[in-house]
Amino acid sequence: MAISRQKKEEVVKDLKTAFNTAKIVIFTDFKGVGVKSMTNLRKKVREAGGKYVVAKKTLINIALKDKKLDIINPLELDGQIGIAFGDTDLVSTSKAIYEIQKEGGMLKVLNGIMAGKVLDAEEVVQFAQLPTREVLLAQVVHSIKSPISGFVNVLRGNIQGLILTLKAIGE
């Protein structure tokens, strides 16, 4: 059954809004993905602070051209196109897509857009394998703290050595 013109305009409007607010956009081929897996995919992407949308390639193309993001032509992409929009951060949405891809194997990452730059499938996977923001911050804090802790331990060692020497002399 054909979609009415009004419904198509609404879909294009929603896509434009999503392209505006997203920090990362990931194009996937969901051909062969079952209903249960698709529901799980949408749930995981939503939990990661994004959303997963399925639309016709022509409507996606119109939305991209209107937003001056025609660096990707969805008409040239293979398969049935689904788009994951990451609204909160760059890593969590790509992580959710990557996890689903590993589990089922039918979902295929095609490419993505981040900050106006096209990402190929390998770059999207690299983003997915990055640690979360909290883990990265913890690693930075640890790397700043380690030299200071080492310095304090060296100073403490000298003082303890002096105290032990004086104690030995006193006995």
Q: pLDDT tens for residues 121-161?
A: 888 888 788 887 788 888 888 888 777 777 777 777 777 77
Please, what is the Cα angle at 124 between 123 and 127, to 5 degrees? 90
**Distance (Å, whole) CA 132 – CA 149:** 25
Q: Which pTM was predicted?
A: 0.74
Q: Are residues 65 and 143 in the same domain?
A: no
86 shares its domain with 74: yes
The vertex-124 CA angle with 60 and 17, nearest 5°, equals 35
- CATH number for the domain spanning 44: value is 3.30.70.1730
Check whether residue 85 and residue 138 sit in a common domain: no
pLDDT at residue 109 greater than cutoff 80: yes
**Are 48 and 101 contained in the same domain?**
yes
Domain hosting 64: range is 5-130
Tokens standing for residue 158: 């000298």
Overall number of domains in the chain: 2
Q: Are 123 and 150 part of one and the same domain?
A: no
158 & 95 share domain: no
